[in-house]
Structure 1
């Protein structure tokens, strides 16, 4: 298989004899690194460093739910403003501003919780 990042077409085949145990171990190693056995061999023989991928951080479901709720609140406010239902009087504008301040505080509290 030709890598999309490597414009050279690989036309030559290198065969290596190994035990079935070696092959299984190499395939498991390649799979755990999200590579092919061929890719590992090329990288080792060429002396190119292994590409390290950042691990995907675990998702905090409760935090995600809270951020989604804040986003829903913002969308409802934006929809109301865009439909011109809210900004009919200065009192309504103050209500919108009050809701935005509440949402801002919620988000700042979430940031503090996550940072702690």
Structure 2
């Protein structure tokens, strides 16, 4: 069961003496792991495992561009539907179907290019 109580506020401070070089090195380690120095100390003292972050692979610029085009088409459809709220006229329905055909063709091209 998940507790809905607010987490206890961290109000105590722990001091650690170190040299300027140590502090710089420790801060560099924290930055390289995308963590705070306080977070690393808490994790080590509590014995909780380090979060493993899977790197995001680089994306093909053409693929990103085509996905953006699909997103643009979806936004246009959403705008039409939100403006009309209810599709009453057949002309609106044909317009939306036309947009859906464009999205289908774009996705087909995307799959073909990704498979090549």
TM-score range, shorter chain: 0.5 to 0.7
Is residue 36 from structure 1 mapped to residue 36 from structure 2 by the alignment? yes
Superposition deviation, residue 113 in structure 1: 2.9
Aligned-CA RMSD value:
3.8
In 2, distance between residues paired with 1:69 and 1:109? 12
Unpaired stretches in structure 1, ≥5 consecutive residues: 1-5, 88-92
Residues 31 and 72 of structure 1, relative CA distance in 2, 3 Å threshold: closer
Q: 1:14, 1:73 → 2: CA distance? A: 54
TM-score by length of 2: 0.59
For residue 51 of structure 1, give the secondary structure of its aligned residue in structure 2. Answer: coil
How big is the shift at 1:103? 4.4
Shift of 1:17: 1.9
Q: What secondary structure, in the 3-state scheme, does the structure 2 residue paired with 1:15 have?
A: coil
Written as runs of structure 1 = structure 2, the 5 A alignment for 1:12-27 is 12-27=12-27
Q: Which has the larger radius of gyration?
A: 1
Structure 1 position 60, deviation (Å): 2.9
Distance 1:37 1:49, change over 3 A: same
Structure 1 residue ranges (4+ consecutive) displaced by more than 4 angstroms after TM superposition: 70-74, 82-87, 96-103
Q: Distance in 1 between matches of 2:98 and 2:20?
A: 69
User: Across the two proteins, how many residue pairs are aligned to each other?
Assistant: 105
TM-score by length of 1: 0.59
Which residue of structure 2 lines up, in the alignment, with residue 90 of structure 1? Answer: none
Aligned partner of 2:53 in structure 1 is 53
